[in-house]
């Protein structure tokens, strides 16, 4: 029994696997219904198999990114708990350094949720592969990019949770970042002609995590198209590392 | 060898918004040698829990130095031979008692076989073996304190720090827990135990420190206190003008009036002789109570805000 197993038991105790299963079953049904219609069109020569593949990858990406967001929301309670008085005192009174405990807990949470995400999303993947509309490699592209996205969302929740100790602020920041990045994706159309405004919006855009753009990249990679710029992934990963480092430093300074 | 050393520990919790800054610890000095049981008495908010937390690095003092088994609290080594039961402990509620002890053993890097044997023994010792599948979140206060004590003892540490271990316990659970702690005490372990109530620690402690507003204002050697206490009694009886004879080898009369008599005896058991003498003279005894010494009165004065002396009727001996 280590920190990983303890975190795993908490995951099952909170019945998060059951919530994930319910969403997955709904996803399986919706994707099946949507694809059945498209496959009928292909059978009647009204659509092409390539179009159906693009549709299927889009549906898969939507489902996986939704699961990623749900998983990120689920971790909020775990991270706010880490910064509050209570259970942490039990751990920190044992011969383990704050840094080791923090990283053990963080990686345990990440891996448990990543495994759960992989297992649940694989059910949808198997459905799509079974229907012959995507390949295993295409599923792999979508899943792996989204697992990086999950890490980024998790680091945002960790940072806000550690800073504010508030579940409400974590929810609010998740919503703000989500909306912010979506809005900023269309920044080029607003700032035409204004150099300063464009630089400013670009800076904000690249400071925020770019998970929605990463989702688009996953679709491009899965459909064999070229990715024009890897900058959003790189800046998001840098942000992830920075947020984890800052949260760890904050955790090491907290009084319990 | 000194197990716990603290020199000039000061901690001020800075006020947020409209709240004032609070001096939680004010230049606290403490040295607890190996094998001693040290009781820390004081009000809620006196700084007992904060002091204990500084020993684990859970609260970082603004100034001062702490050494636990010769190591500073930020070092994991300082906690390798220490068991801790925090005040109002919150353990992972999704675990059973056995799982919590397994996790604790893992954190102490214990050998798996030794750990399982130790867990079986500890669960029986604290009486938790009856609830093998019950999760901690469903535990009563008594069961939580019991599992808390078990996790503190899992690595068989030489230093045990118990922060208000009897808080919220009923008359059934308290003696059980007291018995376990007393057993640990008999193994010559160093124990630091805190409580707002003297009765919680007096039978266990070798020394008592009284904490008030973040300072240890007085330290009392319990063997001195016990020696003084057990020899003085006030006997309330209708003496009239009768004189009760007490030989020098039994004790002396300090004060005699028509309604009562204060005696200082060479040992506690000699009170039976005095009672027999009074009865032989046909005097009826209304009550006998051990007298509070100056030292004890001082103890009560220092923690009066929360710890009132036990009602006198409790300490009277019905005759």
pLDDT of B315 above 60: no
- Identify the residue among B91, B103, B104, B156 best suited for mutation to test binding to A, counting A beta carbons within 10 A and taking the highest: B103
- Mean pLDDT on B167-187: 88
Question: B319 falls in which pLDDT band (50, 70, 90)?
Answer: very low
In this model, does residue B309 exceed pLDDT 70? no
Q: What is the pLDDT of residue B305?
A: 41
Residue B228 has pLDDT above 70, yes or no: no
Give residue B230's pLDDT. Answer: 62
pLDDT above 80 for B290? yes
CB within 8 Å: A256 and B60? no
Any B CB within 8 A of A94 CB: yes
Helix, strand, coil proportions of chain A in percent (round to 5)?
Answer: 85, 0, 15
Q: Comparing A49-53, A103-107, A236-240, which segment has the lowest mean pLDDT?
A: A49-53
Looking at residue B308, its pLDDT comes to 41
- Which of A164-168, B122-126, B201-205, B312-316 has the weakest average pLDDT? B312-316
* Higher-confidence position of B87 and B239: B87
pLDDT band at residue B58 using 50, 70 and 90 as cut-offs: very high
pLDDT at B295: 55
Q: What is the pLDDT of residue A147?
A: 95
* Domain at B226-315: CATH code: 3.30.70
Place of tokens 């906690």: B79
Q: Judge if ipTM > 0.90.
A: no
Which pLDDT band holds residue A80 (cuts at 50, 70, 90)? confident
Nearest to B91 among A2, A90, A95 (CB): A90
CA distances from A70 to A31, A157, A222, A240 (A): 18, 12, 23, 18
pLDDT at A41 over 90: no
Looking at every residue in chain A, the average pLDDT score rounds to 89
> In chain B, where does DSSP find H-type helix?
48-55, 97-107, 112-125, 141-153, 173-186, 198-201, 222-231, 271-280, 294-302, 312-315
* Residue-level pLDDT at B65: 96
Distance (Å) from the C-alpha of residue A94 to the closest C-alpha of chain B?
6
Reported confidence tier of residue B298, pLDDT bands at 50, 70, 90? low
Mean pLDDT of A198-224: 84
Contacts of B9 (CB under 8 A, 6+ apart): B25, B27, B28, B29, B30, B51, B54, B61, B63, B64, B65, B66
Which parts of A47-135 fold into alpha helices (H)? 49-83, 87-92, 98-130
pLDDT higher for A83 or A161? A161
- How sure is the predictor about A196, in pLDDT bands with cuts at 50, 70 and 90? confident
The residue that leads in pLDDT, B296 or A44, is A44
Q: What is the dihedral of CA B225, B230, B236, B237, to 10 degrees?
A: -160
Do the bridges between strand B2-13 and strand B207-212 make them parallel or antiparallel, or are there none, so unpaired? Answer: unpaired
**Chain A residues within an 8 Å CB radius of B86:** 89-90, 93
3-state secondary structure of B144: helix
**Nearest residue on chain B to A256, alpha-carbon basis:** B58
Contact between A89 and B99 using a beta-carbon 8 Å cutoff: no
Query: Nearest residue of A to residue B153 by CA position?
Result: A94
Mean pLDDT throughout A209-218? Answer: 86
DSSP 8-state secondary structure symbol assigned to residue B141 = H
- In which band, very low, low, confident or very high, does the pLDDT at B301 lie, cut at 50, 70 and 90? low
Is a pLDDT exceeding 70 seen at residue A250? yes
Closest CA to B46 of B5, B87, B97, B93: B87
Are B196 and B44 within 8 A, CB to CB?
Answer: yes
Q: Which of B317, B4, B285 is nearest to B160 (CA)?
A: B4
Range of lowest pLDDT (A79-93, B92-106, B148-162): A79-93
Interchain CB distance below 8 Å, B82 and A93: yes
How far is it, in rounded angstroms, from Cα B248 to Cα B238?
23
Examine the pLDDT at B297 and tell me if it is beyond 60: no
Q: What is the mean pLDDT of residues B295-319?
A: 45
For chain B, the average pLDDT equals 86
In CATH, what is the architecture of B2-222?
3-Layer(aba) Sandwich (3.40)
Q: Mind listing the pLDDT tens digit for each residue in A14-26?
A: 898 899 999 999 9
pLDDT for the residue numbered B109: 92
The string of pLDDT tens digits covering residues B45-55 is 899 999 999 99
Report how far residue A205's alpha carbon sits from residue A110's, in angstroms, rounded to the nearest whole number: 25
pLDDT value of position B304: 45
Residue B311 has pLDDT above 70, yes or no: no
Cβ-Cβ contacts under 8 Å, B22 against chain A: none
Q: How confident is the model at residue B168 (pLDDT cuts 50, 70, 90)?
A: confident
Mean pLDDT for the stretch of residues B30-54: 94
Top residue of B13, B50, B51, B57 to mutate, by most chain A CBs within 10 Å, is B57
CA distance A152 to A154: 5
pLDDT at A78 > cutoff 80: yes
Between B318 and A90, the more confident residue is: A90
Specify the pLDDT at position B268. Answer: 81
Res. A191: pLDDT tops 70:
no
Average pLDDT on B153-167 reads: 94
How high is the pLDDT of residue B312? Answer: 39
Distance between CA atoms of residues B198 and B307, nearest Å: 8
């Amino acid at each position: 029994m280590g920190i990983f197993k303890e975190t795993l038991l908490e995951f099952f105790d909170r019945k998060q696997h059951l919530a994930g299963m319910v969403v997955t079953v709904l996803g399986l049904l919706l994707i099946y219904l949507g694809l059945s219609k498209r496959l009928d069109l292909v059978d009647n020569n009204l659509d092409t198999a390539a179009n159906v593949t693009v549709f299927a990858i889009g549906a898969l990406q939507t489902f996986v990114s939704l699961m990623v967001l749900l998983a990120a929301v689920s971790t909020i309670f775990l991270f706010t708990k880490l910064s509050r008085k209570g259970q942490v005192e039990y751990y920190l009174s044992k011969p383990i350094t704050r840094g080791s405990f923090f990283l053990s807990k963080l990686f345990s949470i990440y891996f448990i949720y990543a495994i759960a995400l992989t297992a649940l999303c694989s059910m949808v993947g198997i459905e799509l592969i079974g229907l012959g509309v995507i390949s295993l490699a295409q599923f792999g592209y979508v899943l792996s990019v989204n697992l990086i996205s999950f890490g980024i969302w998790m680091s945002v929740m960790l940072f806000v949770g550690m800073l504010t100790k508030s579940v409400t602020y974590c929810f609010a920041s998740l919503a703000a970042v989500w909306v912010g990045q979506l809005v900023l994706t269309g920044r080029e159309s607003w700032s035409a002609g204004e150099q300063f405004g464009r630089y400013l919006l670009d800076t904000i855009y690249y400071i925020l995590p770019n998970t929605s753009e990463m989702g688009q990249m996953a679709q491009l990679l899965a459909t064999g198209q070229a990715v024009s710029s890897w900058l959003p992934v790189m800046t998001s990963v840098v942000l992830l590392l920075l947020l984890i480092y800052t949260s760890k430093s904050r955790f090491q300074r907290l009084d319990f | 060898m000194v197990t716990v050393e603290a020199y000039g520990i000061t901690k001020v919790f800075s006020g947020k918004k409209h709240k004032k800054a609070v001096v939680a610890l004010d230049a606290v000095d403490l040295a607890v040698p190996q094998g001693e049981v040290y009781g820390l008495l004081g009000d809620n908010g006196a700084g007992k829990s904060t002091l204990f937390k500084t020993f684990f690095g859970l609260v970082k003092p603004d100034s001062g130095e702490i050494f636990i088994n010769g190591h500073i609290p930020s070092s994991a080594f300082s906690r390798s031979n220490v068991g801790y039961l925090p005040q109002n402990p919150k353990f992972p509620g999704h675990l059973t008692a056995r799982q919590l002890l397994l996790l604790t053993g893992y954190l102490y890097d214990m050998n798996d076989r030794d750990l399982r044997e130790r867990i079986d023994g500890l669960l029986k010792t604290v009486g938790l073996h009856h609830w093998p599948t019950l999760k901690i979140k469903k535990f009563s206060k008594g069961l939580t304190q019991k599992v808390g004590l078990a996790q503190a003892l899992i690595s068989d540490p030489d230093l045990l720090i118990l922060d208000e271990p009897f808080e919220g316990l009923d008359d059934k659970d308290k003696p059980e827990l007291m018995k376990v702690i007393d057993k640990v005490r008999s193994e010559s372990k160093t124990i630091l135990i805190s409580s707002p109530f003297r009765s919680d620690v007096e039978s266990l402690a070798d020394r008592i420190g009284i904490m008030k507003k973040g300072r240890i204002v007085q330290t009392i050697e319990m063997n001195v206190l016990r020696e003084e206490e057990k020899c003085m009694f006030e006997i309330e009886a209708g003496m009239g003008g009768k004189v009760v004879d007490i030989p020098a080898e039994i004790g002396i009369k300090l004060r005699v009036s028509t309604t009562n008599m204060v005696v200082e005896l060479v040992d506690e058991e000699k009170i039976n002789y005095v009672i027999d003498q009074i009865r032989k003279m046909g005097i009826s005894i209304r009550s006998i109570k051990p007298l509070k010494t100056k030292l004890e009165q001082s103890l009560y004065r220092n923690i009066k805000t929360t710890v009132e002396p036990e009602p006198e009727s409790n300490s009277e001996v019905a005759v």
